[in-house]
C-alpha cells in the first residue's frame, strides 16, 4: 500500500496557526511602500508594516477593491506574495479581488487580528481572480499569503535561544540595503567538525522557516542526544539570509533582483558572499564542514539531495538519515530527490563541490499541516544527529 502524504485538507482542519510572539519594529529606509490607491477613504488597504506588499490596488467603490500582484522584477519563480492590513471607519463587508500579473497564484489567503495567530480564510476563484469577502471594522485585520514571520521575529527568537542555550549570536554581515545578518553558533573548544544550517533565502517560503525553528531548537536542546552531538560537532546557523526581501515582501529575490539560491557559483550578492567567507574562515581556522541543511518551501514535502555516487565523503550519510526518518512515519513518505547541476548555483551543490560533503535542500509544502511540520523537524534533527554520530555509512 502506498503511503499517504499530508494533503491540503489537514491545514483546513486547523482553526489557528500559532507562530509565537511578535514584537513590532520601526520600519527602516527601504521598507515596503504604503503608497497605493487604496490607503484613503472610509475603508483602507495598507502595507505600513514589515513584509507588507499589495502591488497595484484599485478602488471600485467604497467597499470593493481589486489588487494586482506584481513581482519585484522578472523573470522570477511564480511565488506571488501579498500582505496587507484592512480596516474601516465602521463595520462593513469588503470585497477584495486579487489577481497576479503574468503569473499564477501560489499561496492561500490567511487572516489574523494580531499577526500572531493565523487561520485560513475562505475565498472563491473567479477565472484568475481570488475573491475574498471580509468583515472590516476599526480594528484592523491582516491578510497574507502565509503567516508573517518578519525580521524582528528572528531577532526575538535567536535572542531567546541565546539566553536559554548559551548560544553565541553575532552580526557578521550586511545585506544589500544594510540590514544586519546574524550567525548563531554552538561550539566546543576542541570540536573541529561543523554542521551548517541556512534559512530564508526566499522570503515567502514560510513553511521552511516553520521547520527551521524546531529543527534548530532540537539541536540545541538539553536532551542527551543533543548534548552528545554538541560534544563532537559545532553548529553554525544563518536563519535569515534575505532580510531585505523579507522586509519588502519580495516574491523571491534580494533587492538586487537576484535569486540567492542561484548565486552560489558567482558569489556576486553580498548575502551569499558573506556566508561563503564565513565557511572559508571556519576551514582556515582548522575546522571541517561536515554537513549542511538549507530550509525552503515548495508545493509539496521533498528533500533535494546530492547523488550518493557523486564522490562525497560518507557516501550514504543522507540516505541513512532520511531512510531512518521515513521509517518513523508509516503514513508519510520522506521523498528524496537526488540531483546534480554544477552550473545552477544552488547551495547544496556548492557545499558538495567545495567541501566534498553532503548538503540537502529541506523543502516543506506550502500547505502542509503546521503541527506536522514541527514534529517532522524535531524528528529530522534527532535522526540526523544520531546518523552523524554513528558515522558508519561506509559499512552499508
pLDDT > 50? residue 107: yes
Distance CA 147, CA 118 (A): 6
Residue 22 pLDDT greater than 70, yes or no: no
Which residue, of 121, 144, 167, is where some domain finishes? 144
Residue 286 lies in a domain: yes
Report in angstroms the alpha-carbon separations of 301 from 10, 66, 77, 218, 273: 14, 32, 18, 20, 29
Q: Are residues 45 and 183 in the same domain?
A: no
H-helix segments, the chain: 8-12, 151-165, 206-219, 224-232, 243-248, 270-284, 317-327, 347-355, 370-390
Answer for the pair 362, 328: CB distance below 8 angstroms, yes or no: no
Residue 6 lies in a domain: no
Q: Which domain holds residue 331?
A: 151-395
CA–CA dist 219, 241 (Å, integer): 20
| pLDDT on residue 165 | 83
CATH of the domain at 391: 3.40.630.10
7 assigned to some structural domain = no
Higher pLDDT, 326 or 19: 326
Residue 64 confidence (pLDDT): 97
Maximum C-alpha span of the chain: 70
Q: Which three cell numbers stand for residue 140?
A: 484592523
Is residue 87 within 8 A of residue 47, CB to CB? The reply is no
User: Are 124 and 171 in a shared domain?
Assistant: no
CA distance 366 to 107: 7
Q: Clarify whether residues 196 and 140 are in a common domain.
A: no
Single out the residue of 395, 286, 369, 378 nearest to residue 5, CA to CA.
369
Q: Averaged over 377-395, what is the pLDDT? A: 85
Of 66, 124, 135, 126, whose CA–CA distance to 98 is shortest?
Answer: 66
- Domain co-membership, 306 together with 243: yes
Q: What is the mean pLDDT of residues 200-206?
A: 98
Q: Is residue 2 one of the residues assigned to a domain?
A: no
Which region among 26-30, 46-50, 191-195, 275-279 has the lowest average model confidence (pLDDT)?
26-30
Q: Is residue 155 part of a domain?
A: yes
pLDDT of residue 1: 35
Which pLDDT score, from 0 to 100, does residue 391 have?
Answer: 73
Q: Are residues 297 and 388 in the same domain?
A: yes
Tens digits of residue pLDDT in 241-269:
999 999 999 999 999 999 999 999 999 99
Quick one: average pLDDT of 358-370? 98
Task: Please count the other Cβ atoms lying within 10 Å of the Cβ belonging to residue 117.
Answer: 14
Residues 255 and 351 in one domain: yes
Task: Give the pLDDT band of residue 309 (cuts 50, 70, 90).
Answer: very high
Among 219, 373, 193, 388, smallest CA distance to 296 is for 373
Question: pTM of the full predicted structure?
Answer: 0.91
Rg (the chain; Cα; Å)? 21
d(CA 243, CA 255): 10
Q: Among residues 81, 111, 144, which one ends one of the domains?
A: 144
Cell of 248: 519588502
Tell me the average pLDDT across 333-345: 95
Q: What is the pLDDT of residue 36?
A: 64
Mean pLDDT of all residues in 207-223? 97
- Based on the fold, state whether residues 275 and 341 are members of the same structural domain: yes
What cell does 367 get? 500547505
Q: What does the DSSP assignment read for 340-372?
A: --TTS--HHHHHHHHHSS-EEEEEEETTS-HHH
Is 356 within a domain?
yes
**Among 21-25, 57-61, 388-392, whose mean pLDDT is lowest?**
21-25
- Which residue in 111, 131, 87, 104 sits closest to 15, CA to CA? 111
pLDDT of residue 300: 96
Specify the number of domains making up the chain: 2
Q: Chain-wide mean pLDDT for the chain? A: 91
Choose the final residue of a domain: 144, 160, 180: 144
Q: Are 229 and 381 in contact (CB under 8 A)?
A: no
Same domain, 68 and 93: yes
Look at residue 157 and tell me whether its pLDDT is greater than 90.
yes
Mean pLDDT of 206-227: 97
pLDDT of residue 29 exceeding 50, the answer is: no
| Pairwise CA distance, residues 209 & 197, whole Å | 11
Amino acid at each position: 500500500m502506498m503511503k499517504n502524504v499530508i494533503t491540503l485538507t489537514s491545514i483546513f482542519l486547523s482553526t489557528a496557526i500559532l507562530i509565537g510572539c511578535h514584537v513590532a519594529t520601526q520600519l527602516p529606509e527601504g521598507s515596503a511602500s504604503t503608497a497605493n490607491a487604496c490607503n484613503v477613504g472610509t475603508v483602507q488597504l495598507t502595507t505600513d508594516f514589515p513584509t507588507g506588499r499589495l502591488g497595484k490596488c484599485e478602488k471600485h467603490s467604497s467597499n470593493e477593491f481589486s489588487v494586482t500582484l506584481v513581482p519585484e522584477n522578472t523573470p522570477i519563480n511564480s511565488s506571488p506574495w501579498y500582505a496587507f492590513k484592512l480596516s474601516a471607519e465602521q463595520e462593513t463587508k469588503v470585497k477584495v479581488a486579487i489577481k497576479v500579473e503574468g503569473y499564477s497564484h501560489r499561496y492561500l489567503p490567511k487572516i489574523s487580528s494580531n499577526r500572531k495567530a493565523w487561520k485560513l480564510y475562505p475565498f472563491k476563484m473567479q477565472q484568475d481572480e481570488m475573491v475574498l469577502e471580509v468583515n472590516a471594522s476599526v480594528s484592523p485585520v491582516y491578510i497574507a499569503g502565509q503567516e508573517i514571520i518578519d525580521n524582528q521575529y528572528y531577532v526575538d527568537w535567536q535572542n531567546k535561544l541565546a539566553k536559554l542555550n548559551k548560544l553565541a549570536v553575532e552580526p557578521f554581515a550586511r545585506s544589500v540595503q544594510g540590514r544586519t545578518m546574524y550567525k548563531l553558533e554552538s561550539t566546543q573548544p576542541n570540536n573541529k567538525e561543523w554542521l551548517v544550517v541556512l534559512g530564508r533565502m526566499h522570503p515567502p517560503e514560510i513553511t521552511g522557516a516553520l521547520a527551521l525553528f524546531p529543527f534548530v531548537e532540537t539541536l540545541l536542546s538539553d536532551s542527551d542526544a543533543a548534548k552528545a552531538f554538541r560534544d563532537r560537532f559545532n553548529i553554525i546557523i544563518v536563519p535569515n539570509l534575505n532580510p531585505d526581501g523579507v522586509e519588502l515582501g519580495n516574491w523571491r529575490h534580494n533587492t538586487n533582483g537576484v535569486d540567492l539560491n542561484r548565486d552560489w557559483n558567482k558569489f556576486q550578492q553580498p548575502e551569499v558572499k558573506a556566508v561563503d567567507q564565513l565557511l572559508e574562515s571556519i576551514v582556515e581556522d582548522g575546522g571541517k564542514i561536515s554537513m549542511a541543511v538549507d530550509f525552503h518551501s515548495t508545493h509539496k514535502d521533498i528533500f533535494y539531495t546530492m547523488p550518493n555516487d557523486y564522490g562525497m565523503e560518507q557516501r550514504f550519510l543522507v540516505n541513512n538519515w532520511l531512510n531512518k526518518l521515513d521509517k518513523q512515519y508509516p503514513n508519510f513518505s520522506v521523498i528524496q530527490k537526488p540531483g546534480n547541476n554544477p552550473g545552477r548555483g544552488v547551495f547544496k551543490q556548492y557545499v558538495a563541490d567545495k567541501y566534498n560533503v553532503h548538503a540537502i535542500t529541506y523543502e516543506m509544502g506550502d500547505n502542509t499541516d503546521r503541527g506536522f511540520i514541527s514534529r517532522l523537524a524535531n524528528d529530522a534533527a534527532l535522526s540526523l544527529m544520531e546518523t552523524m554520530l554513528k558515522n558508519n555509512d561506509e559499512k552499508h
